[in-house]
Amino acid sequence: MPYLDQYRDDVETFVGVCHALAASKYVTGHGGNMAWKLEENVILITPTRMNKGDITPSDLVFINLAGEVLEGTRNPTGETPMYINFFRERPDIASVLHCHPPVTNAFAVSAGREHLMRPYFPETATEVGPVPTVPYAEPLTQQLADNFLPFLRKYNAFIMENHGLVIMSPKDIYWCKMMTDLLESTSISLVNALAFGPVKEISPAGLQDLENTMRDRELPMFGAPGVNDGLVSLYAE
């Protein structure tokens, strides 16, 4: 059975996220891409050079962990080397989304403090985590993919310097979209607050309490399994 039929419901969800990204203007033109590991060696990925608002199921591509096309009439995104690195280095991850949410992207070009590395809201601290800045490299290159390597095992969200946002999750692609919405909402609040002056962070004691929240809600700790002890140590660095 073709993968397109075998994973009909997942394909529908995937296309829905593509369209939602475009409607939210998190992607424009041909920008942005995403991938969802459906089996150990089967990855659903966006095609290259398409507006995400125009994508239909027949446009999608299935690849393996070597980047080889298993099914599809189009070529996969030019950022495929980046996704191969992600899934190889983080086998716990099921889905990855790259886009350009306008306010969050302001931090991709800001030369100031890495504000998204700090805890401001409980939801963002427990569901997105710290967001480090990955050094700039030419898009669609192996160098860009490799620039993530020092950060991949510790974090689940990343700002690509002068480029955009990447969010990954052990959950499905729709969860990645929800986390993108959450981070963009946080960025909007943060930018508004910075206009008034210094901003307040959640204290270490507050972070300790939020670790209880994560356990109660069965939220996994960020990073590869066993890498991070908890929120307090993660945000202390």
Domain covering 3-236 in this structure, CATH number: 3.40.225.10
Residue type, 76: P
Cα 180 to its chain centre, rounded Å, is 7
Res 131: pLDDT: 98
Is residue 107 exposed (0-12), middle (13-18) or buried (19+ Cβ within 10 Å)? buried
For 186-215, the three-class secondary structure string (H helix, E strand, C coil) is: HHHHHHHHHCCCCCCCCCHHHHHHHHHHHH
> And the tokens for 13?
């969800």
Q: Average of pLDDT values for 133-146?
A: 93
> 78 pLDDT band (50/70/90 cuts)?
very high
Distances (CA, A) of 54 to 45, 96, 132: 15, 20, 31
Q: How many CB atoms lie within 10 A of CB 128?
A: 22
Q: Map out the domains of the chain as residue ranges.
A: 3-236
Closest CA to 120 of 27, 185, 175, 72: 185
Bridge partners of 39, per DSSP, are 42
Query: Model confidence over 26-68: pLDDT tens digits?
Result: 999 999 999 999 999 999 999 999 999 999 999 999 999 999 9
Polymer length in residues for the chain: 237
How many angstroms separate the CA atoms of 110 and 186, rounded?
16
Q: What is the mean pLDDT of the chain?
A: 97
Mean pLDDT of 195-216: 96
